[in-house]
Amino acid sequence: MAELRGALIGCGFFAVNQMHAWHDIDGASIMAICDRDPARLRIVGDQFGIERRYTDAAALFEGETLDFVDIATTVGSHRPLVEMAAAHRVPAICQKPFAPTLADAKAMVKACADAGVPLMVHENFRWQSPIQAVRAVLDCGEIGRPFFGRISFRSAYDVFSGQPYLATGKRFIIEDLGIHILDIARFLLGDVSNLTARTARVNPGISGEDVATMLMDHEGGATSMVDCSYATKLAAEPFPETLIELDGSDGTIRLAQGYQLTVTGKSGTTVSDVSPPLLSWASRPWHNIQESVVAIQKHWVDCLTTAKEPATSGADNLKTFALVEAAYAGAASRQPVRIDDLL
Ligand code: NAD
Ligand code: 89V
């Protein structure tokens, strides 16, 4: 089967991981790249040997015949770029956060549905191998029916040096990081009916919130807590590990720091190391995230070639995005928010 011809728009900090991943994946190749910043275009083009370079996305769509586009720009440009892809009938991957608002996100899903093109949000955290390992234990029924979850990401890692824009937005941790952790909660425990949230800003040098605590009712009956912080100094820095506690009718799952998975269930207790592999181009501590980029991009190729809906399709991601909106609304009002009212 012929390789899928892709283009990457946005050659910044994170896109380098996406380019490495495309290089590792069979069945798809990046034929052209685009960035409005010529310096980034040159750096990424030279690093990955891509000759076809554009500083304007409209010119890219006019100049190339594409099977898909991978949009790795920051959130402000996501809607116009996804709508441009839809107008050219080009399937699109869009980085998270999907859009500035839920209304924009809904419009993007509609544009792609109307054009009949697949749309996947690059929501990669659920593709991390330790998270997949937790889901596999749940799926095999070892702990019975889950009734409680805590999905936790607490760190003091300096994310601002690599991504300076994170310090300047009115919204920070829920929109940038909480979105991943809320998606993991949905992935493990199902869709959410109600959410209550509290936020705080501890670091005086940033504009948004850097601490968020969320309590959720899942439609299947479980209750979960999602807690995120970039203001938590620990003896051993866990970035970027997501820690998980799940209690079920027949046992428990604990994903602890250091990628240690402990399962106590119907067949006793097992302890295993579910550390992600360190890919040749990856670097600690980011290797966990970097490996998940390969996994989600492989999933996209598989979905495009077999006409399957991606797990984190645009439509699916509206349900994660609604949790982000609910968290900001609920933190402001100090009231619980019904998710169905937003969707
Ligand atoms: P960045 O600012 O380093 O890179 C963005 C690039 O896009 C810049 O080079 C900019 O010039 C270019 N760009 C912006 N608008 C454009 C347009 N209209 N046309 C062409 N080029 C345009 O940002 P980043 O840190 O790489 O983040 C990019 C996205 O990736 C963000 O949405 C961020 O949230 C997301 N991200 C995801 C993960 C993850 O694990 N999924 C991790 C980090 C960042
Ligand atoms: O995954 C992300 O979106 C990153 C980080 C892990 C630093 O929050 O921005």
313-336 pLDDT, tens digit per residue, is 999 999 999 999 999 999 999 999
Q: Is the pLDDT of residue 2 over 90?
A: no
Nearest ligand by distance to the CA of 163: 1
CB atoms within 10 A of CB 156: 17
Spatial separation of the C-alpha atoms in residues 73 and 54, rounded to whole Å: 14
Contact 70, 9 (CB under 8 A): yes
Class of the 126-295+319-341 domain? alpha beta
Sheet of 251-256, strand order: 268-273, 260-265, 251-256, 243-248, 146-154, 223-229, 211-218, 192-200, 337-338
* pLDDT tens figures, 158-217: 999 999 999 999 999 999 999 999 999 999 999 999 999 999 999 999 999 999 999 999
Q: Which atom of ligand 2 approaches the CA of 166 most closely?
A: 9
ipTM above 0.90, yes or no: yes
For residue 74, which ligand has an atom nearest its CA? 1
- For residue 100, how far is its CA from the centre of ligand 1 (angstroms)? 14
Is 4-117 a CATH 2.40.110.10 domain? Answer: no
User: Among positive and negative, which fits the CA dihedral 233, 237, 242, 246?
Assistant: negative
Mind listing the pLDDT tens digit for each residue in 147-175? 999 999 999 999 999 999 999 999 999 99
Q: Measure 294 CA to ligand 1 centroid, in angstroms.
A: 17
- Where residue 92 falls among pLDDT bands split at 50, 70, 90? very high
Rounded to 10 deg, the angle between the 179-189 and 129-139 helix axes is 20
The pLDDT score that the predictor gives to residue 273 is 98
pLDDT tens-digit readout, 243-283: 999 999 999 999 999 999 999 999 999 999 999 999 999 99
Whether the per-residue pLDDT at 1 is higher than 70: the answer is no
pLDDT at residue 316, rounded to an integer = 98
Which neighbouring-strand residues pair with 92? 69, 119
Q: Which residues line ligand 1 (CB under 6 A)?
A: 9-15, 34-37, 40, 57, 72-75, 77, 95-96, 122, 124, 163, 176, 289
Q: How far is the CA of 115 from the centre of ligand 2 (A)?
A: 31
**Ligand with the closest atom to the CA of 127:** 1
Nearest-atom number in ligand 1 for the CA of 14 is 26
Mean pLDDT value of segment 66-73: 98
- Kindly state the tokens that stand for 168: 């300047």
pLDDT at 288 exceeding the cut of 70: yes
Q: What integer is the mean pLDDT of 286-298? A: 98
> Measured between alpha carbons, how far is 122 from 173 in angstroms, rounded to an integer?
18
Q: Is it the case that residue 341 has pLDDT exceeding 90?
A: yes
Q: Would you state the pLDDT for residue 63?
A: 98
CB of 177 closer than 6 A to ligand 2?
A: yes
Q: Show me where the domains of the chain are located.
A: 4-117, 126-295+319-341
Residues 262/154, Cβ–Cβ less than 8 Å: no
